[in-house]
Structure 1
Amino acid sequence: MNSSSAELRENWGLLFSCTIGLLFGTAFLPYLLSPLAAVFTEKFGWTLSDVIRLMPFQAAGMMLGLPIAGVLADRIAPRPLILTTIATLAVLSMCLPIAAQAGYWHMCTLFFVLGFLTSGLSGLYYTRVVGAVFNSARGFALGATLSGAGLAGFVAPLYAHAVVDRFGLQAVYQGAGLMMLLVALPIVFFGLTNAPHPRGSATGPARAAGLSLAEAARDRRLYLMLAPPLAFGLVVSSLIVVIVPALLDRGVDAGTAAMVASLYGISTVLGRLASGWLLDRFRPARVGVGIFALAAVGTLAFQTDAATGAIVATIAIGLVNGAEIDIMSYMTIRYFGIGHYGRIFGVAYAVFVGASMIGPFIAGGLLQHGGHAMLFLATTLLFVTSALFLLVLAGIEGEPFDAPSNPVH
């Protein structure tokens, strides 16, 4: 049995708990909005745009909360930190229908507070634990963990459809909160029993080494690493929304368009697992170059008139969406170590979230002037630019901060 298999076998419980924790993390709630949009419109008189605008409020809270969550992740034992945050998310989730009854701006405020207080559950807390425990299988373990967010995109809409028709809107959010308390919380409690403390312990190993945020800020690899998530963040939130309309414009029937949209979620999960497997075998910048170059070709296919081109583009975007955060997390550990991972990755993730807030305004202008084809062409150019930045990074990335036990090429 090789070292990667041994790591996965030894720590499967921790990996499973992190994946389930991320499934019922901050990603779960936004995926409820689409199937519940009609209910909000009918019950409260909100427009579809009003419902969509709830997500930027959560994103704004996350952007401000992630750097703080990063500091906490580098200082506090992961299990009590994560359990407390899960409980907070569950309570706030149950309060969302009450806020909706109080008025639209109460709902917006609660989404902002929710994003701020629970930003660490977006992936930061779990990837820090996984990054500290795994070495030779680190890439795949990170990909498997982050797949939890992709699974949320599959589970949450099905759950909302099943519950809202029978029990109503309030039951959807109360049930979501209960699943966080009764499913995610106990699994994480038992799964993270042996998760290492970020500061080490008196009887255990010392705190892991790593560059500080200030030291990383003087390293040009950080800025080259941030270019792709910044570029992708500008378009990702808009692309998710326009997938079905773009397919319908190409003559695809509604049923097929919905099926292709579900392929987006599946390709996101596959992108995370595949990129993780590749990261354990090749240098991360080279993996990124290959993925973004392949995605650029896929999104360029949208410029053809055939419906097949739109389908290929949809799958390509899903693959990048799956691989991007996985690669950024892996690069953070490889280049700067795990010691201050929370601070560095928290800032990096905040950049991605900030870009995703600005993106819809840019996408709106592109759609107005050139339609879906213009938006997908801009996406292709951003993917090509990202691949070029990563190509430069590949030439200077050097050896890993903490050399893994298995070589990468």
Structure 2
Amino acid sequence: MHLAMEQPLSRPASGYGEFRRGWQVVLASLLGIGLGLSPMPFYTLGMFAPHLAREFGWSMGQIMGGISVMTLMVLWAGPGVGILAERLGVRRVAMTSLVLFGFAFMSLGLSTGSLVQYYASWAAIAILGAGTLPITWTKAVNHWFDRRKGLALGLSLMGTGLFGVFSKPYVGWLIGYFGWRGAYVGLGLLPLLIALPVAWFLFRDTDEHPDAVVRTTTPGGLTLRQAFRDWRFWLLAIALVPISFALGGPVPNMEVILTSKGITADKVLALTPIIGLSALIGRIAGGWLLDRFWAPAVAFVILSLPGLSC
């Protein structure tokens, strides 16, 4: 595999001029990420957990084990998706994965009480939905933007925050009217009915569009072997492990944590969307700051805030 060097074709007088040509990719990425594997399981499992516990007698540890299975499978599927995106193109990988992810997520509504089946569904969700992770969508965004890349990435990743804001009331409404099984179907339809059509019409990588700002056909950069020999690669890879644990722990368990302290379900439903709202603000502010200040310092400040709040 070869990591190509990104070279700007042209630089408009204002970096914001890049958005005139690349807003479609940002919008498609926002919806693709927001209705993909990255936020949907984490923001919704806490809503389903009490219903699964009552229906099947499972403990909270067994129910949340689905997230562990999904995470382990993503460790295997993520690099594979990266290879496919290089060979087949990010558009084809992302759109195929949106379809498969939607149906795989619906399969949780067919749970029979077998933990093996339940965990197998989570494994399928991870493998088939790995193409909806930010790795595919942001690859195209990186190619379309140069001077305002941080802001463009922040806007694209804002999809997770938007889903976090609206998912709780939406899931609560679905469960109230259709039960928890119907709610899984309602969630699985979101990537199929919203993200997929938008991606079909708007999502293109730079090699598929003549007006792209950045192309990746210029030789250069690092090969995969060279990247593995660079200490900076391993520093980033190792740092992402505790960050992932810190993010993946509180979010799906927040409903359980709050209700265990005697907070009523209505108040929990009102409080938990604040997580998505804060993520939304953080994405935009973080992207804006990355375009102007030293990225490690920005990351240190932003990551310190949730650490202090916990």
TM-score after normalising by structure 2: 0.83
Counting aligned pairs with the same residue, the percent is 25
Shift of 1:173: 1.9
1:180 paired residue number: 191
CA offsets 1:339-394 (integer angstroms, 9 cap, x no match): xxxxxxxxxxxxxxxxxxxxxxxxxxxxxxxxxxxxxxxxxxxxxxxxxxxxxxxx
- Cα RMSD (Å) of the superposition? 2.9
Q: Select the residue among 58, 78, 101 that pairs with 2:90.
A: 78
Counterparts of 1:56-135 in structure 2, within 5 Å, are 56-98=68-110, 100-101=111-112, 103-135=114-146
Q: Does 1:143 align with 2:149?
A: no
2:6 paired residue number: none
Paired residues of 2:143 and 2:216 also in contact (CA < 8 A): no
1:207 paired residue number: 217
Structure 2: give runs of 5+ residues left out of the alignment.
Answer: 1-11
Single out whichever of 70-79 and 149-158 deviates more from structure 2: 149-158
1:7 paired residue number: 18
SS of 1:90's equivalent?
A: helix
Shift of 1:259: 5.2
- Specify whether residues 166 and 197 from structure 1 end up closer, same or farther in structure 2 by C-alpha distance, changes over 3 A only: same
**1:244, 1:150 → 2: CA distance?**
17
Q: Does 1:52 align with 2:77?
A: no
Q: Does 1:154 align with 2:176?
A: no
Shift of 1:265: 2.4
Paired residues of 2:102 and 2:191 also in contact (CA < 8 A): yes
**1:31, 1:189 → 2: CA distance?**
26
- Specify whether residues 179 and 291 from structure 1 end up closer, same or farther in structure 2 by C-alpha distance, changes over 3 A only: closer
Question: What count of residue pairs does the alignment treat as equivalent?
Answer: 292
Shift of 1:214: 1.3
Q: Does 1:288 align with 2:287?
A: no
Shift of 1:35: 1.2
- Specify whether residues 161 and 205 from structure 1 end up closer, same or farther in structure 2 by C-alpha distance, changes over 3 A only: closer
Q: Which has the higher contact order (CA 8 A, sep 6+)?
A: 2
CA offsets 1:212-244 (integer angstroms, 9 cap, x no match): 221112212223333432232333323336767
Paired residue type of 1:295: L
Paired residue type of 1:231: P
Paired residue type of 2:26: L
- Specify whether residues 205 and 67 from structure 1 end up closer, same or farther in structure 2 by C-alpha distance, changes over 3 A only: closer
Shift of 1:155: 2.4
Shift of 1:50: 1.9
Paired residues of 1:130 and 1:142 also in contact (CA < 8 A): yes
- Specify whether residues 160 and 253 from structure 1 end up closer, same or farther in structure 2 by C-alpha distance, changes over 3 A only: closer
CA offsets 1:274-311 (integer angstroms, 9 cap, x no match): 1111111123123224434x538x61xxxxxxxxxxxx
SS of 1:25's equivalent?
A: coil
SS of 2:40's equivalent?
A: coil
TM-score after normalising by structure 1: 0.64
Counterparts of 1:231-310 in structure 2, within 5 Å, are 231-240=242-251, 261-292=272-303, 294-295=304-305, 299=308
1:338 paired residue number: none
Shift of 1:141: 0.9
**1:246, 1:206 → 2: CA distance?**
46
